Amino acid sequence: MSLWIVWLIAGLLLIVAEITTFTFYLLWLGIGALVGCVLALIFPDAYVVQILGASIAAIILTYFTKPFIRNRMEGSKGYTDKFELLVGKRGEVKEAVPLEGLGIVLVGNETWSAEANEFIEQGETIVVTGRNSTVLQVAKLRGD
């Protein structure tokens, strides 16, 4: 099987997955894979060129469209950021959260990387206080 077919299938699967999630991240990866497909047709034996082309396209699309997409989503009626819904929720520490570094917490049925301003041992109950990108900021739950 030619490599361009693999790029094409990967690109189309990512775009179809994007249609079901509406995150826009998979769309950019799908377009990057389609760029890799075109490069595979032009340069069939230049694997590094294909990978670099696909990666650069996905990174550029993600970087330059992220502010636009964020503004568009926040301006949409009824849009709620999933992270904002987590603030105030309780969870359990699955892997200790060190003072400096990341631990693992379970909030609802989802596992997240977490950071805190204090050491939190495994098994303790936490409350989500905020977020930093995809890392939750948590604190020990005090006084039920």
Segment 7-48, tens digit of pLDDT: 999 999 999 988 887 767 788 999 999 999 999 999 999 999
Taking 50 as the pLDDT cut, the residues of the chain under it are none
pLDDT (0 to 100) of residue 144 = 56
| Sequence-separated (6 or more) residues with CB below 8 Å from residue 50 | 3, 7, 36, 39, 40, 43
| Beta bridge partners of residue 128, listed in sequence order | 138
Dihedral of CA atoms 121, 118, 116, 107 in degrees, nearest 10, equals 30
